[in-house]
Amino acid sequence: MSGGDTSEEKNLPATEHTLRKAREKGQVAQSKDFVTMLITLGGLFFVIMAWPSFVRMFSNSLDFALRGFQMELEDSYRPMFVVSILETLYSLIPLVVILVLTAILANILHKKGIPFSMHPIVPDFKKINPASGFKKMFGARGMTEFSVSLLKVLIWFVVAGMFIWLALPAILNSPICEFPCTTAVTNDLLIKIILAAAILLVIGGVLDLPLQEALFKKENKMTRTQLKKELKETMGNPEYKSARKEAHKEMTQVNTTAGKDATANLIVSGADMAIALRFHAEDTPVPIVVAKGRGEQGDEILASGGQMSVPIEHEPELAQDLFRTLLPGQQIEERQFQKIALLIIRNGLL
């Protein structure tokens, strides 16, 4: 087992510490569909609001060009070109600014800030390794994104075909229809297709967010060896040790029944017993026993925990050890900490 985790299965969810380290390297869940959705909607909204100015720009340019044919080439070419360029820039610069600002805002929203890091631009030979490329292409992310892309193309064709089918009678009658009639049919079809496209973009963008989040968390799953290594690094941190010592001093000064007033967020169950624990990274850095019971009392703790959606872990040996050595209000012992820490991380409490 090279490196301690190459042959192990990554079946443990990533801890907050792991996700935070990944973010420091610029690795976060990225949803291109969400960004595309907001950019398209922002651009579409601006075009709709500024449509009269676009029409006026095209009309002025066309009118100026037609009048230029009646003038000498030297007199007409330069003013016509300059005016057309200025008109176009005046109309398009606000659109470009809005698209850029929308793209920045969209990335900040779905990435929950700007994960600035130089790590993505550092040369990495793994990125040009053909084996890694094929593994990535046929991995869970590659196959999922390929399937989603295929589904999106299919939906686009179906929706576009449906609108064209519904508008087919009007399209077939357009050759014998007056020009205003043909224009009305074309505009109606275009508006419907644009609205349908906008709705599909919104649906795709919103659904892509949780999908990318799930894929990112799956890629960052950990092996038990990685988790143990992280626990040693985290629990051995001087700041964390200091907090635990301070908590120990406070715990020795309170009554053993003080834990009854705390809210449990983890229950360890055994054969006929249950121990409710309380852990909080800031308030209670060392888990304390909130309540414990055997028989009917244990069943009551389990029932109460189930009603309050408190995670319940069935660990008979650990439950027996906790029940035998601790009273409500007491903190767990040092030798019990690693097993409890694994349960805390597994249930996302750290």
Q: How many domains does the chain have?
A: 2
What is residue 133's predicted lDDT score, i.e. its pLDDT?
A: 61
pLDDT at residue 342 tops 60: yes
> Residue 160 falls within a domain, yes or no?
yes
Give the pLDDT band of residue 319 (cuts 50, 70, 90).
very high
6 and 148 both lie in a single domain: yes
167 and 258 inside one domain: no
What is the band of 246 on the pLDDT scale with cuts at 50, 70, 90?
low
| Arithmetic mean of pLDDT, 214-224 | 82
On whether both 215 and 147 belong to a single domain, the answer is: yes
- The SS3 call for residue 5 is coil
* Cα gap 290→329, rounded to integer Å: 6
Predicted confidence (pLDDT) at residue 122 exceeds the cutoff of 70: no
Q: Please give the pLDDT value at position 259.
A: 43
Q: How many whole angstroms separate alpha carbon 70 and alpha carbon 63?
A: 12
Tokens 């694994």 belong to residue: 342
Phi, psi of 305 (to 5 degrees): -65, -40
Question: In angstroms, rounded to a whole number, what is the distance separating the alpha carbons of residues 255 and 278?
Answer: 16
Q: Please indicate whether residue 36 or residue 187 has the higher confidence score (pLDDT).
A: 36
How is residue 111 written in tokens? 């990435």
Looking at the structure, do residues 161 and 120 belong to the same domain, yes or no?
yes
Please tell me the distance from the alpha carbon of residue 215 to that of residue 348, in angstroms, as a whole number: 18
Q: What is the mean pLDDT of the chain?
A: 77
Q: Are residues 150 and 10 in the same domain?
A: yes
pLDDT at 78: 63
Residue 227 forms part of a structural domain:
no
Q: Say how far apart CA 34 and CA 47 lie, in whole Å.
A: 20
Q: How many other β-carbons are positioned within 10 Å of the β-carbon of residue 179?
A: 8
Domain that holds residue 301: 236-346
Q: Angle at the Cα of 56 (from 51 to 62), degrees rounded to 5?
A: 130
Structure tokens at 202: 């919104």
Of the three residues 188, 219, 250, the one that is the final residue of a domain is 219
